[in-house]
Structure 1
């Protein structure tokens, strides 16, 4: 990036957050102007008029899907630098963000220092994920590795345990011996580090191996 100061588009539908972040960003020496939009429609009007050095977006807007907005920015400006600023910590959102062509992501629970550091890093051509985002993604990666360790038969036994079946019922269901089912049960308890059947099912639900309310 040249020595010229950057123009930023800030998009957030919460007025206090929008103005608060704007105040912080305008104090940064790297920044020239900060444009704001409180809806997807407002953002698109500004995006059509000029490119920005950085787009700071929320993923949830009253009239637009943030992921769709990212796509529209990318379509018009393929090299656009996009920083996501969101309060959402749901695994599926963070996982989708990790697979989306953005320059960085920061959770609104992060402090101001991380926000300014993210902006500085991205304007210099780098990428930035806030500490909590990285922690959640690392945990997700670990969980997925654990899921991959379960065999197909262990998955069947786990699902049957979740339905409340006992060893004999599972053995009859899968046409194997009770000893075989007990062996699978012990393997499951070990892999998921569970203390008992209830703990096993709860951990399996938490990891997304079986859905909540599995019947």
Structure 2
């Protein structure tokens, strides 16, 4: 790493986002992009032998989620700074990311300058979050009225889970791995704030999603 430059890595599975972030970081004074990773496992492997000051971390990743990775990285190195960079605006997701040690939470529509500023803030031990997300986080809306925003894939898997189809059968039907199905299932349970599939189906039905 170049002297006096902050080392930044990106963990994001959409190449077009990686390209955009890489361009910003490569043109920002005082920052050095030292790695880009499409999944959590590769990032973990890199960080076992290399150091990063800041991790820009997507939440929806294949296999292991960004929330799980955040928790692992903080256990591995409590000084590493992690900024969630995502499209998730659900209160429960924001809360869980923060509970697992995130130092910042930004949406992917953030500006170049705001991203660079956020990196400086977390390095100065300041928490960073867009004002619109702060409003969601601190809103007093009754939880039972909140309807989670689901991805197209999550909706597919929710429907199949509700039909009692097994993880392996869902994986075969959607041409994805059983681990990916389980990751989506965990994400669904997290969004609906439940601990098992039966409760997930009940709550999704109550909210009119099944």
Q: Same fold (TM over 0.5)?
A: yes
Quote the Cα distance in structure 2 between the aligned partners of 1:30 and 1:126.
18
Structure 2 runs not aligned, ≥5 long: 146-202
Instruction: Show the counterpart of 2:114.
Output: 114
Deviation at 1:97, TM superposition (A): 2.2
Q: Does 1:57 align with 2:57?
A: yes
**Higher CA-based Rg:** 1
Deviation at 1:98, TM superposition (A): 3.4
Is the CA contact (8 Å cut-off) linking 2:7 and 2:52 kept in structure 1? yes
TM-score, normalised with respect to structure 2: 0.63
Is the CA contact (8 Å cut-off) linking 1:105 and 1:128 kept in structure 2? yes
Bigger RCO of structures 1 and 2 (CA < 8 A, at least 6 apart): 2
Deviation at 1:23, TM superposition (A): 0.8
RMSD: 2.6
Is the CA contact (8 Å cut-off) linking 1:51 and 1:77 kept in structure 2? no
Aligned-partner SS, 1:119 = helix
Is the CA contact (8 Å cut-off) linking 1:26 and 1:34 kept in structure 2? no
Deviation at 1:110, TM superposition (A): 2.3
TM-score, normalised with respect to structure 1: 0.62
Is the CA contact (8 Å cut-off) linking 1:8 and 1:31 kept in structure 2? yes
Instruction: Show the counterpart of 1:100.
Output: 100
Structure 1 runs of 4+ off > 6 angstroms?
none
Quote the Cα distance in structure 1 between the aligned partners of 2:86 and 2:73.
18
Instruction: Show the counterpart of 1:22.
Output: 22
Quote the Cα distance in structure 1 between the aligned partners of 2:78 and 2:142.
31
Quote the Cα distance in structure 2 between the aligned partners of 1:58 and 1:114.
17
Instruction: Show the counterpart of 2:132.
Output: 132
Is the CA contact (8 Å cut-off) linking 2:71 and 2:100 kept in structure 1? no
- What are the Cα deviations for residues 26-50 of structure 1, in whole angstroms up to 9, with x where unaligned? 2111213331111112211211112
Instruction: Show the counterpart of 2:35.
Output: 35
Structure 1 runs not aligned, ≥5 long: 148-207
Instruction: Show the counterpart of 1:182.
Output: none
Is the CA contact (8 Å cut-off) linking 2:25 and 2:33 kept in structure 1? no
